[in-house]
Structure 1
Amino acid sequence: GAPVSAFSLWAPDALTVTKGEDNVLTYNKTADSFRKSCKTCGGHVYSAHPEKGFIDIYPAILDRLDFKPVMHVSYGESVLRIKDGLPKFKTFPNAKGEGEIIEE
């Protein structure tokens, strides 16, 4: 793993795999997390979280995304504390905008 990992949260219907969908492997990391990886190289493509109502995608795989972080998630498991003024969720925010926030 890495001390910091950036990803972007999207509504499930915002993603369309346009090429290589038959080469995507699904692994259930947990009951509510479906990790999607490339069968050839093993690279992580995205994760689906149907119970939470979103998917997460690494910004680096998107050709045209001006990525500007707006929050930290899973900060309760953080090994590197970052003071940047952004909200830090212990786990994840939910679709209703709720979730436990950790003070900086």
Structure 2
Amino acid sequence: MFHDQSPSVLPEWKKRAPYRIHEPENFEPIYTANCHCGRVKYQLSRREPLDSKLCHCMTCQTQHGAPFQWAAIFHKTDINFTRGHDGLEWYDPSTNSLEHNLPCKVRCSHCHSPIMDEGRNMILIFPSLVQFEADEDKAKFRPRCHIFYGQRVMDIRDGLPKWSGMSGESELIEDSPSEEVHNLTEERKAMGECSQK
């Protein structure tokens, strides 16, 4: 098992979060998760993600074979692999490379289940892999908005804010709650007035 390898012989990527194995006394697991075949297992120590979104970009549609991806954002130190650490592989969709270039997609090399997206500072895990013991835990991962909704392949009338691109950096579209649109418009007006002074 990979816990037995001394730090001096570990490849460089295994020494850094999110792949570095935590010592049990320094990590309090709240949730467990695994890929489809069960060869990759991990724990999460944060009760609620920093954010949770539904992404409609074409890369997510293609990579997941679905109309959109449900992703929850965590710090890289919030995850601890307990099994299958050596069975991970990377994919950089911007260069079609299997090298560990950030940002990249991470998956199980056996069943090819997506495990996470690794960014430069954060990770996006997929809540559908997490074993929730209670409905209230699952509710903490509920999506808060849609991103890249301009690339959608289907309409979703759920009342959540819908951004044409990145959240907060693009236009709110479709059936976004009117108060969200109003607040964003007022913010942009205020910023415009400040920049003109």
Shorter-normalised TM-score: what interval? 0.7 to 0.9
Structure 1 equivalent of residue 162 of structure 2: 88
CA RMSD of aligned residues (A): 1.9
Q: Is the 8 A contact 2:164 2:173 kept in 1?
A: no
CA distance in structure 2 between the aligned counterparts of 1:19 and 1:100, rounded to whole angstroms: 39
Q: How does 1:51-70 map to 2 (within 5 A)?
A: 53-64=121-132, 65-66=137-138, 67-70=141-144
Distance 1:29 1:73, change over 3 A: same
User: Per-residue CA shift, 1:4-59, capped at 9, x if unaligned?
Assistant: 33221222222222221110001111275310010111111111121xx3321111
Whichever structure has more helix as a proportion of its residues is: 2
| Normalised TM-score (structure 1) | 0.78
CA pair 45-81 structure 1, distance change in 2 beyond 3 A? same
Provide the residue aligned with 1:41 in structure 2: 111
TM-score, scaled to structure 2: 0.45
The alpha-carbon distance between structure 1 residues 48 and 4, as it changes in their structure 2 partners (threshold 3 A), is same
Given the alignment, which residue of 173, 181, 194 partners 1:103?
173
1:55–1:102: structure 2 CA closer, same or farther, 3 Å change rule?
same
The CA deviation at 1:3 is 1.6
Query: 5+ unaligned residues in a row in structure 2: which ranges?
Result: 1-64, 96-101, 175-197
**Is 1:4–1:80's contact at 8 Å kept on the other side of the alignment?**
no
Q: Is the 8 A contact 1:10 1:56 kept in 2?
A: yes
- Whether 1:29 and 2:93 are equivalent positions in the alignment is yes
Aligned to 1:4: 68
What is the SS of the residue equivalent to 1:18?
strand
Q: Unmatched 5+ residue regions in structure 1?
A: none
User: Based on CA coordinates, which of the two structures has the bigger radius of gyration?
Assistant: 2
Change over 3 Å in CA distance of 1:54–1:99 after alignment to 2: farther
| Identity score, percent | 26
SS of structure 2 residue aligned to 1:36: strand
